[in-house]
Copies of this chain bind each other. A is one copy, B any other.
Amino acid sequence: MLARDEIKAAIEAMLFASGEPLPLEEIARVVGIPVEDTNGILNELVLEYNKSGHGIQVVEAAAGYSLCTKDTYYQFVKAVRRRPAKKLSQAALETLAIIAYQQPVTRAEIEAIRGVRAERMLNSLLARGLIAEAGRKEVPGRPVLYVTTPEFLKLFGMTGLTDLPREDKEA
């Protein structure tokens, strides 16, 4: 059994190394302590990194916990990123925008807003892992529902869907 300090360090290492958000339950299982205790340690980590003097933070999203930089330092980070993600087409961005706000959403609903067919675009966004299928809508024809993925948040540098601008803030 590890000391508490070491469990905390182990969790930090895990958050750093995992390419995807880690669910609380999975972290607890791997370090072998109860979920509540794990939760306590994660909260400590969140608070510690929130302090000024740190450029990174522990964030919790629907899919789990992850480490990322604080948005304040985006210009410095941008300067050292070696592999800028490929630019998305206007069509891809519009489709993602609709899915992000209206999720879960069907193909027909997206097409009604954009006024053009969406099938190929959806296939390409699925292939890039930016959206995922999430069951079917219980209406005639049972169309597939689409949602955005953690990969979507990653690409646009968000910690959660709440980072999307809201009507009242904008306009």
Which residues of chain A in 110-131 are interfacial with respect to chain B, using CB atoms and an 8 Å cutoff? 127, 129
Q: List B contacts of A20 (CB < 8 A).
A: 82
| Residue from B18, B26, B73, B90 in contact with A10 in the complex, judged by beta carbons closer than 8 Å | B73
Q: Which residue in chain B gives the minimum CB-CB distance to A32? A: B76
Contact bitstring A75-95, B, C-beta under 8 A = 1, else 0: 011011111100100100100
Q: Which residue in chain B gives the minimum CB-CB distance to A12? A: B55
**Number of residues in A with C-beta < 8 Å to the partner?**
43
**How distant is the Cα of A96 from the Cα of B26 in the complex, in angstroms?**
35
| Residue from B13, B70, B79 in contact with A9 in the complex, judged by beta carbons closer than 8 Å | B70
Which residues of chain A in 24-54 are interfacial with respect to chain B, using CB atoms and an 8 Å cutoff? 26-27, 30-31, 52-54
**How distant is the Cα of A9 from the Cα of B48 in the complex, in angstroms?**
13
**How distant is the Cα of A56 from the Cα of B5 in the complex, in angstroms?**
13
A80 touches B14 (CB 8 A): yes
* Chain A facing B: main interface SS: helix
The reply on A140 being an interface residue by CB < 8 A is no
Q: List B contacts of A10 (CB < 8 A).
A: 55, 73, 76
Given A5-B52, A13-B70, A87-B129, 13 extra CB contacts under 8 A? A6-B52, A6-B72, A9-B54, A11-B55, A11-B76, A12-B55, A13-B55, A17-B68, A17-B77, A17-B80, A18-B81, A18-B82, A27-B80
